Structure 1
Amino acid sequence: MPARAPKKNLPALRGAGERVLLRLKTRGAARAADISLALGISAEAVRQSLVKLEEEGLVTVTTEPPQGVGRPTQRWSLTAAGHERFPNAHAELTVQLLDSVRTVLGKGALDRLIDARESQMRATYEQALAGAADLNERVARLVELRAREGYMAEYWREDDSFLLVENHCPICVAATVCQGLCRSELHTFRAVLEADVQRVEHIVDGARRCAYRITPGAARSRKIRKKG
């Protein structure tokens, strides 16, 4: 469990239904009672919102058998349509452009395009993180950047490392057909944070979110060994 509550940079949504959707997006499947407690709204308001969202095809419910004596547990989660309610960075057009580059110009041209994007992203992030006092501040600034870009990013500390979580991927469709985009983002994180960064959950592989474990000092140690 996290040592402390996550630092949030999530969009403000209106209405109980939108708040329920956002809760399911950022925290995964949950019971109606837990959603009510987390959002501070009545159980009846949550129930009505879930029923309406289910009718719209945005959420689905799974019934789990009781553990011992008691009633079955119902857990609500987003459907594919529910996930699509969140921004996806002109997914169809992006995929078409990537396919066109690969088909017309070849894989080498696509790789160069990804490298150029990585260089631009790294320069932008390095400028934003310049002057950060320590790894904690670098992570906080990176999370703020990613949240503004639509990744619903947050982070918290776990023992001697950090966990950076992105509850949404606005380029998910493009990344699915071109996983070089995901690799370049991982390279960028390692460079600008000056730390070891390992992806431990990946939306493209079917996870609910992308998550990165960040360990201080490891990247610098590898560079020193390589030079030696």
Structure 2
Amino acid sequence: MKKDVSENEKAIWILKNQGPKSLKEIAVELGITTEGARFQLMKLSGEGLVKSESISRGRGRPQQIWSLTEKGHSRFPDMHGHLTVKLIQTIRESLGENALDKVIASAGEDNIKKYSGQMQEAKDLEEKIRILARIREEEGYMAHYEKTDEGYLLLENHCPICEAAKACQNFCSTELRTFQTVLGDEAVVKRVDHILAGARRCAYLIKT
């Protein structure tokens, strides 16, 4: 969580980064009492930023699980989304789909150069993934990686180009190819969660 996040925004950051949580779990993350957490969540709910629903988690009574609303997700920046969508529409209508594909491919090549340049000194695949996660975090994707029994998970809790990706999903396929290229032949990269498919985040499984 960013250190400069205000108290009443911390719950939003937790839900964005970690997904839906119970009141008790949010209270623990915030380091406050459940009543204090409830007060914050009710305030955010009144602003239309969070919502709760009753969900069963195994045995026992259903729990109230809190998550972000669409308005809550919109608190995180999209990189000039409306302008980008307009430019996509203009290129598509004026120059055609092939021209749009070339523009996106060119942007992908720029990213490959940028990412590869910062990975030159990486000693192994994990270090490459660590560098990639750091770069994506700096670019606004709220990214980090985790080591799992299957390999590595690159997790992106936010998509700052989501509106553009909705208008042209070639952005997403280009992004996947970019990751595969910069991580090299030793890695196999597969997208296992996708925001545009309804997931709360994008996730990439990276295996050797």
Specify the SS of the correspondent of 2:206. Answer: strand
Task: Give 1:201's aligned residue.
Answer: 193
- The 1-side partners of 2:142 and 2:4 are apart by 13
Is residue 79 of structure 1 aligned with residue 69 of structure 2?
yes
| 1:21 aligns to 2:9 (yes or no) | no
When the two chains are superposed, the root-mean-square deviation of aligned CA atoms in Å is 1.5
SS at match of 2:65: strand
Specify which of 11, 23, 30 is matched with residue 21 of structure 2: 30
Any gaps of 5 or more consecutive residues in structure 1? 1-9, 217-228
Q: Distance between the aligned counterparts of 1:196 and 1:11, measured in 2?
A: 32
What residue number does 1:45 align with? 36
Structure 2: runs of 5+ lacking an equivalent:
none
| Aligned position for 2:136 | 146
Instruction: Please report how far the alpha carbon of residue 69 of structure 1 lies from its aligned counterpart in structure 2 after TM superposition.
Output: 5.0
Q: Distance in 1 between matches of 2:78 and 2:57?
A: 37
Matches within 5 A, 1:44-123: 44-64=35-55, 69-70=60-61, 72-123=62-113
Residue pairs, 1:178-197, within 5 angstroms: 178-194=168-184, 195-197=187-189
In the alignment, which residue of structure 2 is the partner of 1:213? 205
- Counterpart AA for 1:116: S
Distance in 1 separating the partners of 2:108 and 2:77? 21
Aligned CA distance change for structure 1 residues 13 and 47 (closer, same or farther; 3 Å): farther
**Contact 1:200–1:210, Cα closer than 8 Å, also in 2:** yes
Larger relative contact order (CA 8 Å, sep ≥ 6): 1
Please give the secondary structure, in 2, of the residue aligned with 1:124. Answer: helix
TM-score, normalising length: structure 2: 0.94
TM-score (norm 1): 0.86
Check conservation: 1:153, 1:165, Cα contact below 8 A: yes
Q: Secondary structure at the match of 1:109?
A: helix
User: How many aligned positions are there?
Assistant: 206
The change in CA–CA distance for 1:65 and 1:129 in structure 2 (over 3 A counts) is: closer
Higher deviation after alignment, 127-136 or 12-21:
12-21
Structure 1 residues 66 and 178, CA gap change in structure 2 (3 angstroms) = closer
Per-residue deviation at 1:177? Answer: 1.2
Instruction: Among all aligned residue pairs of Structure 1 and Structure 2, give the percentage whose two residues are the same amino acid.
Output: 43
- Alpha-carbon contact 2:50-2:67 (below 8 Å) kept: yes
